[in-house]
Chain A
Amino acid sequence: MTTTYGGWAGYILRVNLTTKVITKETTETYHDYIGGMGIGYKVLWDDHVDGIKATDAENQLVISAGPLSGSGAICSARTTITSRNPVIRNHLITDGHFGGHFSPELKFAGYDAIIIEGKSETPVWLKIVDDTVTLEPADSLWGVGIFDTFASISKLMGQQAQIAAIGPSGEHLVAQSTIQTQGGHSAGGHGAVLGSKKLKAIGIIGTGTVDIAESTTNEQLRELDDHILGIIGANNNGVVPNQPQSWAEYSSTGSRWRGGPGVTWGAADNPVDVGETPWDDRQKVGMRTSMAEMYFGRDEANKIFKRPGGCHSCPIRCFCEVKNPKMKTEYNLPTENITNVCLGFLDPWYAMGKPSSGEKRTDIQTVGAYYMDDNGIWSAYGQLSHLMREFTARGFWEIILPAEEYAAINWAQYADLDAHFMQDFYTRIAYSEDYPGSNILGRCLGRGLHEFINEDGELYNVEDILNEVESPRMAELTFELESDANYDLVGKTYSVFLDKNMKVFNRSMVGGVHHASESAGQVGALLNTVFNRDPQCHSHINLINCGLPHAKIAEVAASLWGEGAFDPVQHYTAMNTSKAKFAKWCLVKNVLHDSLTLCNWMFPLVVSPDANRDYIGDSSIEAQMFSLVTGIETSEAELDAMAESVLQLHRALTVLQMNEIDQRNKHDVLSEWVYDLDHDKNFGDEGTIKMDRDDIQIGLDMFYAEMGWDKDTGVPTRATLEKFKLGYVADKLESLALLPA
């Protein structure tokens, strides 16, 4: 590295699996794009190829860290994975992320990113030990579950190796597959890309350092660390406890600050009674979150929760390390321990129909989590399980599946909420065509919903799609449930865009709802239109679900984005420019975090648990971290501008990949149920999250104006692109008639 910057390791590895040539290039080329997601999008822009599929050899996959990874900055251990994605319509680019300890190890080895390109003829894995980088044969690992893959490579490399791998799901080119690291940390949607390249895993040992700028002292780093600890909350930055505690002015059942009296790490060898978790007790920060009771219910959690877990450098610990002895004794698994968070536990539960808390739910979630992770299956933020559950409730599988296959599936187990069902269910998905029999169920669930629907969200005949019939028949499914009557749907052709239980939010990308209108009205709705998959954006959630009284949240929101930026949840007012500014801010911060690479499930911290600060946080922490670590003095506004540049590039690349200038009507479109649910209520009534069609169009107008995008098309203008040093992007789009006049 020729500069004295701190943070960046200085080099990027380019691994060509076709030629087996591995080269190093400087990271400085990408400094304007920060790191992480920024590197990924720039690489895919530079090397864009028209019309390729995610699993084609020409597709690249970028695994990238940011300048903060490994520096010790709080919550800075995310890894971003960027590539075309087979789960998305037109296989557009997405970025997925996992936590754990992978990206710090990558930095310690001396690299900011790995660019994977080409395709190997035989299975290989990538071995990185500092400067020594080799491709190793992986024939004996092909077909092996993720957990044993981690163990096998650790045995070869040394157990300090950090490893990312795909499971059988990725190997079988199942679109709904993950790339995973240590425990249940997984990035969704790109397992099949590595599978198509025959790259089973990457193992890293780094013995070097992440250097901090010479101008920065150790005392400054520690001081900033203390400052952050003084204002950070619990998971998703809940800043008040979930239940009343003696030290707390407020409590809120919506807060993820679950740790408190009555919460026990009951599966620990010596059970730990968490007790009160005062905000200023720095040695109890790691006990605050204790999320297990949110996933299992308190009684079950107190029995099976062993400790919280999570990522390198993060004191918050959102993962749940649980011990369910029945995994071994009743379900014949090789372990009784499992670690995960959120959809890792919820997807099996959703798929089985959401039984209430109790042992059956615990078994479903722990056994299901094991099979999902060992096979490397992605939930697509619940779309997988929503599809399974909804089609079962509607009796669709009996119509869709060949009689022989339907009869071979143990529906009695499913009806009985028997977790034994999980083994066959997830194996069908992971093994796809290699599963015995027709396996329409597994092949359909694993392929991604967008493949099976027409422009109106109606289902094609599933077998015709799987058999690639040129003019597939329609499935001829209709709405028949009693509850459909409330919406005048009975007898009408079934459409996933009309079914509120399917939760398809962005109908163009067929993306699942993820903190959209149910969380923040038009703000959530707008930011769910921009990304190609669910936006994984918690910038807004970290404010609105913090647990403080609404008046306080509204005051903070007004100070940042103007009056009326945030309505009470489920009591929404009409669109205004404050909401448009709020939505843009959410996305910019999201991109910033995915580039730095910092946890967007914790940052930004605009509120705090500190009553002495009037509960106000500090939105400039990211800039303070960046300045100290890199030595490049950068204000919050300057860093946000760098992130916005990446966001503009993201939009431009989507335009390029779709070869479509009309993003407004071809990308940023919401499903009908978003407007039509709660038939007895109007938009704006208390108690409904429904949106209004005209209001959302006004919202797009205002949002595009904030983003500097053309009102008619939703595409960045030349002026906007040049403002963000993306003139070359404007030139390319213009040459293809994809730039607004």
Chain B
Amino acid sequence: MITRRALLANGAKVAVGTVYGGTLVGFLTGCGSSDDAETPIVEVIPGGLMVVNPILCVGCRRCEIACSWSHGKSAVSPSTSRIKVAKNLNFGPHGVQPNYQDQRGEQGDSTIVPSTCRQCDVCMTVCPQKAITVNEETGARVVNDDLCVGCGYCADKCPQQVITIDKTTRKSLKCDLCEGSPNCAQVCPTGAIKFYTWEDAVAEVELHEKYLELV
């Protein structure tokens, strides 16, 4: 059995065009995985994922706004944003704890840990309409609105809980990497959110994961 740490320690990298599975991809995508490294989970294709560095995030939520602005109807809201800051903003990823002052969040140690889509396959796999497919150019898993019926399976199963169903249109709202030029990253005033290729993402994801844990 290869553990994630062992894999990383061995200098394993994720290369485009290769089918990877097991702990490394599970780690990168946040999908969770079996410890059976032989089980393929995801085929790595061009593109990558958005990750926020919690040390640099200053909680302005301009990324949420830019996401709202850049998709369809001009209606600004965290609920229509594909990146989620609010849910971890005040008290961190685990909500109010008895020692909330020591936990993450604005009311805790002031660390803010926004959640982003890791472009894993879970939503695509669970969609009964086959409405989510891979954009071969960007690598993003994207929703086909013509097929989406708003059942919410993708949102329920999303490991990062960053998919929502638009209350008005009843369509799934999922990060599509803005066709290769993510708006959230462009408006971040500290460079906290960045697009990482699969090859570059390991250290950033590891840092992010550290801040999701209870302190």
A residues adjacent to B (C-beta < 8 A): 6, 70-72, 101, 108, 147, 150-151, 154-155, 158-161, 182-183, 206-214, 216-218, 221-222, 225, 265, 268-270, 272, 282-287, 306-317, 321, 323, 334-335, 337, 339
Asked if B16 CB lies within 8 Å of chain A CBs, one says no
Q: Which residues of A contact B109 (CB under 8 A)?
A: 323, 337
Query: B149: CB under 8 A from chain A?
Result: no
Contacting residues, chain B, for A283 (C-beta < 8 A): 188-191
Residues of A within 8 A of B189 (CB): 282-287, 315-317
With a cutoff of 8 Å between Cβ atoms, the chain B residues found around residue A71 in the complex are 76
Q: Is the interface of A mostly helix, strand, loop or mixed?
A: loop
Interface residues of B in 36-76 (CB under 8 A from A): 55-62, 65-66, 68-72, 74-76
The smallest C-beta distance from A207 to any residue of chain B, in angstroms, reads: 5
With A154-B96, A218-B70, A337-B110: A208-B55 Cβ-Cβ less than 8 Å: no
Q: Which residue of B lies closest to A283 (CB)?
A: B191
| Shortest Cβ-Cβ A-B pairs, 7 listed | A286-B189, A72-B65, A212-B74, A209-B75, A283-B191, A315-B189, A335-B101
- What separation, in Å, do the CA atoms of A517 and B193 have in the docked complex? 44
Contact check, A225 vs B187: say whether CB atoms are below 8 A apart: yes
A272 touches B101 (CB 8 A): no
Establish whether residues B69 and A160, one from each chain, have CB atoms under 8 Å apart when the complex forms: no
Q: Report whether B190 and A286 are in contact in the complex, using a CB–CB cutoff of 8 Å.
A: yes
> Which residues of chain A are within 8 angstroms of B5 by Cβ–Cβ distance?
none
CA of A283 to CA of B167, assembled, Å: 33
Of all chain B residues, which has the CB nearest A628?
B74
- With A151-B96, A313-B61, A337-B108 given, is the CB distance from A218 to B74 under 8 Å? yes
Question: Assuming A221-B74, A270-B55, what are 13 further A-B pairs, CB within 8 angstroms?
Answer: A72-B62, A108-B77, A154-B95, A158-B95, A159-B90, A159-B96, A206-B77, A212-B75, A286-B189, A314-B60, A315-B187, A317-B60, A317-B189
B58, B100, B188: most-surrounded residue (chain A CB, <10 A): B58
Q: Which residues of B contact A311 (CB under 8 A)?
A: 60
Assess the A108–B89 pair: CB atoms within 8 A. no
Q: Which residues of A contact B60 (CB under 8 A)?
A: 286, 310-315, 317
A309 B61 Cβ-Cβ under 8 A = no
A737 to chain B, nearest CB (A): 49
Q: A residues within 8 A CB of B80?
A: 209
Chain B CB within 10 A, most for which of A6, A207, A310, A312? A312
* A307 and B106 contact, Cβ closer than 8 Å, known pairs A72-B68, A209-B79, A218-B74: no
Contacts of B58 in A (CB 8 A): 286, 307-310, 317
Whole-angstrom CA separation of A286 from B53 in the bound complex = 14
User: Is there contact, CB below 8 Å, between B190 and A287?
Assistant: yes
B74: contacting residue among A6, A309, A316, CB under 8 A? A6
Which of these, A210, A217, A308, contacts B75 with CB under 8 Å? A210
Q: How far, in angstroms, from A72 to B72 measured CA to CA in the complex?
A: 16
Residues of A within 8 A of B29 (CB): none
- Measured CB to CB, the closest approach of chain A to B74, in angstroms, equals 4
- How far is the CB of B55 from the nearest CB of chain A, in Å? 5
A-B contact pairs, 29 of them (CB 8 A): A101-B86, A147-B101, A151-B96, A154-B107, A159-B89, A160-B86, A160-B90, A161-B90, A182-B90, A183-B107, A208-B79, A210-B76, A212-B76, A213-B74, A218-B72, A222-B70, A225-B187, A265-B55, A282-B186, A284-B190, A287-B189, A306-B110, A307-B55, A307-B58, A312-B60, A313-B61, A315-B60, A317-B189, A323-B110
- By a CB distance below 8 angstroms, the chain A residues around B91 are 151, 154, 159
Is B208's beta carbon under 8 Å from chain A?
Answer: no
**Would you give the shortest CB distance from B202 to chain A, in whole angstroms?**
16
Tell me the minimal C-beta distance from A278 to chain B in angstroms: 13
Tell me whether B159 is interfacial, beta carbon within 8 Å: no
Give the distance to chain A from B50, nearest Cβ to Cβ, in Å. 14
Enumerate B174-214 residues with CB–CB distance to A below 8 Å.
Answer: 183, 186-191
A268/B90 contact (C-beta < 8 A), A207-B79, A286-B60 known: no
- Interface size, B (range): 35 or more
Asked whether, in the complex, the Cβ of A313 is within 8 Å of the Cβ of B110, the reply is no
Q: Given that A160-B86, A160-B90 are known contacts, is A211 also in contact with B75, CB under 8 Å in the complex?
A: yes
A208→B167 contact, CB < 8 A: yes
B32 close to chain A: CB less than 8 A: no
Q: Is the CB of B106 within 8 A of A183?
A: yes
State how many angstroms separate the Cβ of A223 from the closest Cβ of chain B: 11
Supposing A151-B96, A160-B90 touch, asked if A221 and B110 sit within 8 A by C-beta, the answer is no
- State whether A216 and B95 are in contact (beta carbons under 8 Å apart), knowing that A308-B58, A335-B101 are contacts in the complex: no
- Which residues does chain A contribute within 8 Å of B183, judged by CB atoms? 222
Q: Are B69 and A150 in contact (CB under 8 A)?
A: no
What residue in chain B is nearest A210 (Cβ atoms)? B76
Residues of chain A within 8 A (CB-CB) of B4 are none
- The residues of A that contact B157 with a CB separation of less than 8 Å are none
The answer to whether residues A101 and B89 also contact, given A207-B167, A309-B59 and a CB cut-off of 8 A, is yes
In the complex, which of the residues B69, B72, B183 has the most CB atoms of chain A within 10 Å of its own CB atom? B69
Say yes or no: B191 contacts A72, CB within 8 Å: no
Q: A317 vs B190: C-alpha distance in the bound complex, in angstroms?
A: 10
Q: In the complex the two chains form, what is the Cα distance from A283 to B74 in whole Å?
A: 24
- Please, how many angstroms separate the alpha-carbon atoms of A201 and B183 in the complex? 36
Tell me the complex Cα distance, A313–B72, Å. 20
| Contacting residue for A339 out of B65, B106, B187, CB 8 A | B106
Q: Which residue of B lies closest to A183 (CB)?
A: B106
Are B76 and A209 in contact (CB-based, < 8 A)? yes
In the bound complex, what is the Cα–Cα distance between A686 and B39 (angstroms)?
A: 80
Contacts of B76 in A (CB 8 A): 70-72, 209-210, 212
In the bound complex, what is the Cα–Cα distance between A183 and B62 (angstroms)? 19
Query: Inside 8 A of B101's CB, which chain A residues have their CB?
Result: 147, 334-335, 337
Contact with A along B18-31 (1 / 0, CB 8 A): 00000000000000
Q: Is the pair A151, B79 in contact by a Cβ cutoff of 8 Å?
A: no
- With a cutoff of 8 Å between Cβ atoms, the chain A residues found around residue B86 in the complex are 101, 160
- The CA-CA distance from A182 to B112 in the complex, in Å, is 13
Q: Are A108 and B78 in contact (CB under 8 A)?
A: yes
With A and B bound together, what is the CA distance between A72 and B75 in angstroms? 10
Bound-state CA distance A147–B78 (Å) is 24
Taking the nearest CB of chain B, how far is it from the CB of A182, in angstroms?
A: 6
With A and B bound together, what is the CA distance between A225 and B96 in angstroms? 34
Contacts of B188 in A (CB 8 A): 283, 286
Q: Inside 8 A of B61's CB, which chain A residues have their CB?
A: 101, 312-313
Question: Which residues of chain B come closer than 8 Å to A183, judged between CB atoms?
Answer: 106-107
Minimal Cβ-Cβ distance residue in A for B98:
A151
Chain B residues with CB under 8 A of A161: 90
Give which listed residue, A160, A270, A307, contacts B110 with CB less than 8 A: A307
Q: Which residues of B contact A206 (CB under 8 A)?
A: 77
- Docked-complex contact A147 and B96, CB < 8 angstroms: no
Say how far B108's CB is from chain A's closest CB, in angstroms: 7
**Residues from chain A with Cβ under 8 Å of B66 in the complex:** 72, 222, 225
Complex Cα distance A334/B109, Å? 11
Interchain CB contact under 8 A, A150 and B75: no
A213 to chain B: which residues have CB within 8 Å? 74
Question: How far apart sit A270 and B206, CA to CA, in the bound complex (Å)?
Answer: 14
User: Whose C-beta in chain B lies nearest to the C-beta of A327?
Assistant: B101
Q: Closest chain A residue to B210 by CB distance?
A: A269
Q: From residue A164, how far is it (CB to closest CB) to chain B in Å?
A: 13
The answer to whether B79 and A160 have CB atoms under 8 Å apart is no
Contact in complex: A339, B62 (CB < 8 Å): no
Contact, CB under 8 Å: B87 / A160: yes
Which residue of the partner chain A has the closest CB to B96?
Answer: A155
Q: In the bound complex, what is the Cα–Cα distance between A321 and B189 (angstroms)?
A: 16
Residues of B within 8 A of A308 (CB): 58
Known contacts being A160-B87, A315-B62, is A269 close to B55, with CB within 8 Å?
yes
| Nearest neighbor of B70 in chain A, beta-carbon distance | A218
Tell me how far the C-beta of B159 lies from the nearest C-beta in chain A, rounded to whole angstroms.
19
